[in-house]
Each structure stands twice: as C-alpha cells, then as structure tokens.
Amino acid sequence: MSRHLYKPMLAKVAADAFTDKDWIFEIKWDGFRAIAYIEEPFSLRSRSGKELKSNFPELTELKRLSSNIVVDGEIIVMREGTPDFQSLLERGQAVSASEIQRQSTRMPATYIVFDILEKDGEGLTNLPLMERKALLKDSLREGAYVLLCDYIEDKGEAYFKLVLEKGLEGVMAKRKDSRYEEGLRTGSWLKIKKLKTCDCVIFGYTRGEQAREQTFGALLLGLYDVNGKPVYVGKVGTGFTQQMLRILMDKFEKIQTDIEPFKPDSGDQVTWLEPKLVCEVAYQVLTRDMRLRMARFKRLRDDKLPSECTLDQITENKKMSQTKNNPQRGDVNERLAEYMSKRSFGETPEPKGGEEKPEKLIFVIQEHRSRRLHFDLRLENNGVLKSWAIPKGMPENTKERRLAVETEDHPYEYASFEGEIPKGQYGAGTVKIWDKGHYTPKVWEDDKIEFTLDGQRLKGRFVLVRLKKAEDQKDWLLLKGKDEHA
C-alpha cells in the first residue's frame, strides 16, 4: 500500500452558479467520498479513513482497470436514473457477507473517479488540476462499475441549469490551475447546490408527541467555532422516514449524556447526546442569530467526522461572483436569496437590487393592496430592507399594539418602488408609498428593535418586540414609543 494515506481535498460553498474560463464544472454526486489505492494490497477508504472494500466488493474491478495509482472519487448507487443515497446507506451498513453479496447484486455501486493523486509511487498533488485530469484519463480505463467523471469548461451557469433539470443536486466548480490541497477547504473547489445544506452535529433531541411519542420531536443541531466550542444553530424536525426515526433512536440509546453543550430554547425537554453523529440538513436562510431557518433533515453522514462540522459552512455561504470585487455585496445577495426566489423579474416590475446607497439609513412604509390590504414597514439594515407586514397599519398612539409579521428581506431599491405586481406573481396587487424618510436605530437586537422615524407623515419612537411563542418566530408586536421630549 502507498505509504501515505491521503486526506480528501474539500470544497467551500458558493451561493450561485457562474461562468468563468478559468474553471471547470462537474456533477456533484450524492454519495460516499472515497480514495482508492489501486496497488497491493488494494484499499478503498472513506473520508474518515474507514476501509470500504468489503462493503463494495464489485469495486475491486479497479484492480483490472489500472495499477500503481491512487485516485479520488465518489461511490454512488443509482436508482431510476438518479443517485439514491438511502440505498447507498444500506450498502454501507451491511455486515454479513451474504447480505453484502445480495446487495451488491440487487443495487450495485458505481465509483465515479474525478482526480488522481499518485502514480507509480510519485505524488501528483502539486500538479495543476488539468494536468492531473490528463494523467487520470491515460492511467485508468472505465469498467462496469467504474466511470471517469465528465466535466465542462467555462459555462457553469448553463451546466448547473441542465444538472438540476436532470434531478441532480448540483455541480462542483474547480479552478483549472488548482493543486490538490489535502484536507483543506481553500476556495479553489466550490460546491453549488439548489438548496443550501449544512453538515451538523446532533447534540440532543426533544421529546416527541402524538405520532412521534415513541421517538423524538426534533434534533438539536450544533457547529464548532474556531476555538472548537459548540454553537447552537437550531433544530430540525422534518424530513424523517419511519425507518430513519427507528435508526436514529437505536443510535441515540447508546450515546446519551448529562453534559449540556449549550442552552436550549426555553420550554424544550431535551435528552442530550454525546457529539458523535453527523447529519446533513437543507435550509432556506440563515437568521441574524445564526439559526438555520426552515431546516429539513436530508441524511446521516457516517462518512464525516463531527470535528469537521464547523461554522464556516454557513458563514461563508456567499455569492462568489459578487464577492470578488465587493466583499459586502455577497452578504447582501445571501440575505436577498428568498426575495429573489419568489419573483419572476421578466413579469414583475419590482427591482432586482444592485444600486449603491447613501450612508444615512432610510425607511419606507408601503400600502399594499393584495388579497387583503396591509402595510409593509421596511427598515434598512446591512444593505437590505428588513421587512414586516402590518395588517392594521402603524400604531398612532402609545396604547395601540399592532401585529407585524416578518417577511423576506427586500433590496434597498424597493424603498422607491410603486406599481402593479401582475396577477400570478408573488404579492400580486398595487403597491404605493405611504411614508418614507430616514430613521435612527436605538436598539437592534434579535428580539427587540427600537428606532426613531423622521418621515413625511410619521416622526417619533417605535418599538418592535418579537413574540417568543410565535410559530417560526415571525410574529412581532409593533408599538408607538414615548418620545424622548415627552
């Protein structure tokens, strides 16, 4: 065997596809990352170093297709034309020789090879990617269970669209001149997926109710900061099959602990777990207080170590094509992802965003006649307009309390928008500016925002207070504050 056990090079997350002549683009396969040592003795190792060859005996075909090389790739199981991770998971968990043989016949694995790290004892990791690609093509034949990963150059946006149409989860973008940097996530490789995803450590679970009484309600998720301290990033309670619920409870029974790594949400009855299990979750947006919003369970990650689950997965999920020239623009595009996804800009006159803004903070209140008349309060914050829908309008005195429902962030340019949103579009109806001007924030916290308006109609202090018991924490109370001179 090669004297050196390689650590897979890792990829950062990019928020959107892009086109660039200096990059190539490959399919992002939903499988087990594995490095194959095609030498004597043959070895097939996971990201964590686990030996996989006994679980995938069909992949010993590699020994007939080449010799004296080390390659990197992804093990997948195809079902109905797309990778099926659940079937792959079953393959990885099989123990008995008879079951492994039965599964390899019923749902055979395929090894998609995309890089070569060593040939005839000579390391190749310092060569540029395109040189390694050429060597790989010359060094490894394809077989019944082994394929070379195709790629295209330059046209990442078109390729990403095509990949999604085929039902696949995304693409990998790689710089043509990138070296193979073991175990590092440098930004020379990027993963681009339709949904944002994050690999999290399972630190505990809440008590289940009704149909979930025998299992759990939600998993408590955490990531590690730069100092190795666990940081709570929210809960996930959807996306589980009955089989997965049973699998998880069997695992949980063996790793319960009394150690409380962080403070849970008030009211939660938590069973804490040793940080040994990793799961992948999909989520819509990241809140200001670093919570994964609209999280959904995707799968267990037996191939990933808990120590690899770090905060930079979510803090670096920014739009690459914008951040090259304007680092803060990537943050803005990340916050506007929900707004952009809800609109078809070929149909609606609403603004896309992108203009420069003055330094003085602005606000706008828009009268919105959609299915029901309501008013939208928007306060500029970090380059976007934080937005609330107010069904009964702004409070006029200190005794009035109005419900304010938090909505998606809007671009700065929306402050000057008036017009008709066509039928069939999100928020269809008429939008008119009711009041606008500047504002001064006094307090801006996760659960309380206090500010003074200086508008054409409204002047004075207002307070937004989050309702703690609100579903998904979108509901706030809006109050008229006492003016400082009163």
Catalytic residues: 28
Count of other CB atoms within 10 angstroms of residue 372: 9
Determine contact, residues 252/275, Cβ cutoff 8 Å: no
Q: Which of 463, 446, 449, 442 is nearest to 394 (CA)?
A: 463
Cα–Cα distances in angstroms (integers) from residue 400 to residues 252, 390, 392, 450, 453, in the given order: 49, 13, 11, 16, 17
3-state secondary structure of 273: strand
| Integer Cα distance of 93 and 96 in angstroms | 10
Distance of CA 419 to the CA centre of its chain: 34
Long-range contacts of 244-251 (CB under 8 A, 24+ apart): 244/297, 244/300, 245/212, 245/215, 245/216, 246/215, 247/300, 248/215, 248/216, 248/219, 248/277, 248/300, 249/214, 249/215, 249/216, 251/277
**Within 13 Å and on the Cβ side, how many CA atoms surround 334?**
23
The two tokens of residue 72 are 């990197």
Cα–Cα distances in angstroms (integers) from residue 304 to residues 199, 262, 322, in the given order: 8, 22, 30
| Integer Cα distance of 299 and 242 in angstroms | 13
Q: Which residues pair with 389 in a beta bridge?
A: 376, 405
| Integer Cα distance of 180 and 200 in angstroms | 25
DSSP string, 412-430: GGGGG--EEEPTTSTT-EE
Determine contact, residues 463/453, Cβ cutoff 8 Å: no
Q: How would you classify the pairing of strands 196-206 and 219-224?
A: antiparallel
| Integer Cα distance of 108 and 102 in angstroms | 10
The two tokens of residue 319 are 């739009």
Cα–Cα distances in angstroms (integers) from residue 280 to residues 8, 48, 111, in the given order: 19, 16, 22
Determine contact, residues 270/220, Cβ cutoff 8 Å: yes
Count of other CB atoms within 10 angstroms of residue 462: 23
The two tokens of residue 247 are 């699998």
